[in-house]
Amino acid sequence: VPARLKPASAVTSICGYCATGCQLKLHLDEQGRAINLSPQAGYPVNLGMACPKGWQALDPLDSAERATVPLLRDETGKMLRVGWAEALETFASRFKSLKEQHGRESVAFLSTGQIPFEEMAFLGCLFKFGMGFLHGDANTRQCMATAVTAYKQSFGFDAPPYSYADFEESDVIVLVGSNLCIAHPILWQRVMRNRRNPQIIVIDPRATETAQAATRHVMLKPKGDLSLLYALAHCIVRDGRIDPASIERTEGFEEFSAFLADYSPLAVTERTGMSVEEIESLARTVSEPGKRVSWWWTMGVNQSYEGVRAAQAMINLALITGNIGKPGTGANSITGQCNAMGSRLFSNTTSLVGGHDFAVPEHRAKVAAGLGIPEEKISSEPSLAYDQILAAAEEGKIKGLWIIATNPFHSWVDSGRLAALREKLEFLVVQDMYYTTESARAADLVLPAAGWGEKDGCFINSERRVGTLKKVRQAPGIALSDFRIFRLIASVWGCEDLFVRWTDPEAAFRLLRDLTQGRPCDITGIEGYEMVDGLGGVQWPYPAREDGAPTPASERRLFEDSVFYTPSGKAKLLFSPPAPIPEAVDREYPYTLLTGRGTSSQWHTQSRTGKSDILRKLYPQDAYVEINPKDAARLGVKEHDMIRVRSRRGELEASVYIAPTVKPGELFLPMHYPEVNRLTHSSFDPHSRQPNYKACAVTLEKVR
């Protein structure tokens, strides 16, 4: 029997990829080193299941591409191995020098939803309160900013209201811009466990794996979603299929009703590509009296130039039909990264740590007191958002950048701009597990970081459940956990006095937990990591109770009886007219490019999953493009021919995959290939500043 099949013991840990938050059982040898894993049976999230990424979670830790020692670029451009002392002295002296010469807005950080929230919070507090800079954002801007803004504006707090159990308790499940089958495969399994014979409706321009498995696929035109959602609301209000009691809990119904007058089914046929009958039928299905209707969305909505209003259009539909706060209902954003929800509460980027607001003086005073730092260390000025940071770098205003556990040189829209921007930066630091990401290759200094499995901390999943991850491996070489790196930076910067209480991740957890007191995300009832594990994860809110009893499971779904978090206690119905697609097709660029996840076996830019032999075998390693058979015939291309896809910003060559999964005039490229974002367009939602990855104009030509 191989040694890896004879574990000496086991611990549990939350998976480090997607926001489903599956718990894995890590099998340990005599030395406490993980040698194998299996999905944890009985965990209320994954119920003993895992997707290919989870099963292979240990593989990427052993990659030869791991960053093992700091690397520093010399005058000739060569990267040299250096010790931590030299690396950190250089880090501090270069960033201090920029601050002295150009002020506190001259350096920014870009971080991640992939590290424990104790580390995110440490980074945000260190950078802003300790090092005294202003601007930092996370890659959650690329996936979740839309949902954050939509919930904040509509509910008064960023509070996705649901539990995963709602998938199993719904009569009508509407998935908008969500390929759940492959993006969140375990959540799709939760849908499959629904015994109410639900209607599963997928609204998506592409016939995704999920659309093909649904009971109804609404194959609308790209970015026709907002018009369609308004037309559904138009029909529902017109026909009186509303819930008056639920509408009593809202503000703005009269204005919303008047606005909807312009969005009859007939008025939106051109924009949506749908017939009047299809829209009327869908409106009846999502407002069936007595039926539990749940709305779910992911990146097809979030990654849009008008994602916030589209998300709020679903929130409005849930509110006016009484589908909020009850089992099997809700307007529910499914998060992307394993700790995007932790980032939303604790990253101290655009929101003040612990679910607070930089602009509110009482919040600043409370956080300062909680962290034991002088109040004047917390500025009321807001940080620039991700795109604004990059724009400021292009203009030469931001001269130093610190990138932590993310890979914008691959993942950012119109990524060719990053290469040009790199020339403007005076100092680029990348802190990562690997030397080989596109961003690490561009760095002046690489700080080698431990990865998932090599450190402790907590993630928060999509249904607001806090779970723990465990250290079950030593990081290679002299790589350190991000937490340890931040402690060392505090010391070399000379601000360690502000962080004496941040001794280890669990101490930081307690500090952060106490900051949430009285906020909607209150988790003061959690004693520590052991309690989180003992309870099978803990969904917020989980306030300390006088009787010491745990918060009952019935309170895990928000807004059943409770008021909303707005000043009036009512939810706001928010809306605005749909805008044109920022880059529509024309004679020169006649195809609409759609991008998205291509497989359940790869993750984002493949930084980690690309290091697993098994996962690589499950997915093509070279880019492919899905095109409609009619377009293939017109272009004279066959399956596996090479085709050039060109936008106004860049081009790539990809192998042809012919399928009616996209309509004529549309094509799909999976986002996992580094070339893809050379094509995408720099446009942003005006409310959330989230980039629009989902529709831009391209042209195609056969490669001779």
Q: Rule CB under 6 A: which residues touch ligand SF4?
A: 15, 17-18, 20-22, 46, 50-51, 53-54, 185-186
Compare residues 46 and 692 and give the one whose CB is closer to ligand SF4.
46
Helices 482-493, 84-102: crossing angle, 10 deg rounding? 60
Compare residues 308 and 433 and give the one whose CB is closer to ligand SF4.
433
How many C-alpha atoms does 660 have within 13 Å on its Cβ side?
Answer: 3
Dihedral sign computed on CA atoms, order 148, 188, 12, 525: positive
The residue behind tokens 């799909």 is: 668
Count of beta carbons in the 10 Å neighbourhood of residue 570: 18
In sequence order, which residues have a C-beta less than 8 Å from that of residue 104 and are 6 or more positions away? 132, 133, 134
Burial class (CB in 10 A: 0-12, 13-18, 19+), 644: middle
Q: How far is the CB of 420 from ligand SF4 (least distance, A)?
A: 34
Compare residues 199 and 335 and give the one whose CB is closer to ligand SF4.
335
Compare residues 144 and 186 and give the one whose CB is closer to ligand SF4.
186
Q: Contact at 8 Å (CB) between 27 and 34?
A: yes
Q: How far is the CB of 620 from ligand SF4 (least distance, A)?
A: 20
Q: How far is the CB of 457 from ligand SF4 (least distance, A)?
A: 16
Count of beta carbons in the 10 Å neighbourhood of residue 248: 9
Q: How far is the CB of 362 from ligand SF4 (least distance, A)?
A: 37
Compare residues 160 and 224 and give the one whose CB is closer to ligand SF4.
160
Q: How far is the CB of 533 from ligand SF4 (least distance, A)?
A: 17
Q: How far is the CB of 254 from ligand SF4 (least distance, A)?
A: 43
SS3 assignment, position 149: helix
**Kind of pairing between the strands at 427-432 and 400-404:** parallel
* Helix, strand and coil percent figures for the chain, each rounded to 5: 35, 20, 45
Q: How far is the CB of 535 from ligand SF4 (least distance, A)?
A: 19
Please tell me the total number of residues recorded for the chain in this structure: 704
Q: In angstroms, what CA-CA distances link 389 with 112, 343, 351, 396?
A: 15, 18, 16, 11
Say whether the peptide bond before residue 580 is cis (omega within 30 degrees of 0). no
Burial class (CB in 10 A: 0-12, 13-18, 19+), 374: exposed
Q: In angstroms, what CA-CA distances link 514 with 350, 355, 518, 546?
A: 20, 12, 9, 16
CA nearest neighbour of 146 among 287, 18, 310: 310
What are 656's strand-pairing partners?
625
In sequence order, which residues have a C-beta less than 8 Å from that of residue 212 and are 6 or more positions away? none
* Nearest position to ligand SF4, beta carbon: 54
Q: Which long-range contacts (CB under 8 A, 24 or more apart) does 648-653 make?
A: 648/583, 648/589, 648/697, 649/414, 649/416, 649/678, 649/679, 649/680, 649/681, 650/414, 650/416, 650/675, 650/678, 650/679, 651/678, 651/679, 652/623, 652/676, 652/678, 652/679, 653/623, 653/703
Measured between alpha carbons, how far is 440 from 333 in angstroms, rounded to an integer?
Answer: 31
**Kind of pairing between the strands at 427-432 and 445-448:** parallel
Measured between alpha carbons, how far is 392 from 190 in angstroms, rounded to an integer?
Answer: 44
Q: Contact at 8 Å (CB) between 165 and 393?
A: no
Compare residues 20 and 599 and give the one whose CB is closer to ligand SF4.
20
Compare residues 15 and 662 and give the one whose CB is closer to ligand SF4.
15
Q: How far is the CB of 22 from ligand SF4 (least distance, A)?
A: 3
Q: How far is the CB of 156 from ligand SF4 (least distance, A)?
A: 29
Q: How far is the CB of 403 from ligand SF4 (least distance, A)?
A: 23
CA nearest neighbour of 141 among 362, 356, 412, 352: 412
Measured between alpha carbons, how far is 469 from 483 in angstroms, rounded to an integer?
Answer: 14
Burial class (CB in 10 A: 0-12, 13-18, 19+), 195: exposed
Count of beta carbons in the 10 Å neighbourhood of residue 372: 12
Q: How far is the CB of 14 from ligand SF4 (least distance, A)?
A: 7
CA nearest neighbour of 106 among 426, 423, 370, 369: 426
Q: How far is the CB of 603 from ligand SF4 (least distance, A)?
A: 7
Compare residues 154 and 600 and give the one whose CB is closer to ligand SF4.
600
Q: How far is the CB of 405 from ligand SF4 (least distance, A)?
A: 16
Measured between alpha carbons, how far is 315 from 329 in angstroms, rounded to an integer?
Answer: 11
Q: How far is the CB of 487 from ligand SF4 (least distance, A)?
A: 29
Compare residues 38 and 281 and give the one whose CB is closer to ligand SF4.
38
Compare residues 54 and 610 and give the one whose CB is closer to ligand SF4.
54
Q: Per the structure block, which two tokens stand in for 216?
A: 């109804």
In sequence order, which residues have a C-beta less than 8 Å from that of residue 669 and are 6 or more positions away? 593, 594, 595, 623, 624, 625, 626, 645, 652, 654, 676, 679
Compare residues 454 and 666 and give the one whose CB is closer to ligand SF4.
454
Q: How far is the CB of 335 from ligand SF4 (least distance, A)?
A: 11
Compare residues 18 and 538 and give the one whose CB is closer to ligand SF4.
18
Compare residues 187 and 593 and give the one whose CB is closer to ligand SF4.
187
Q: How far is the CB of 67 from ligand SF4 (least distance, A)?
A: 23
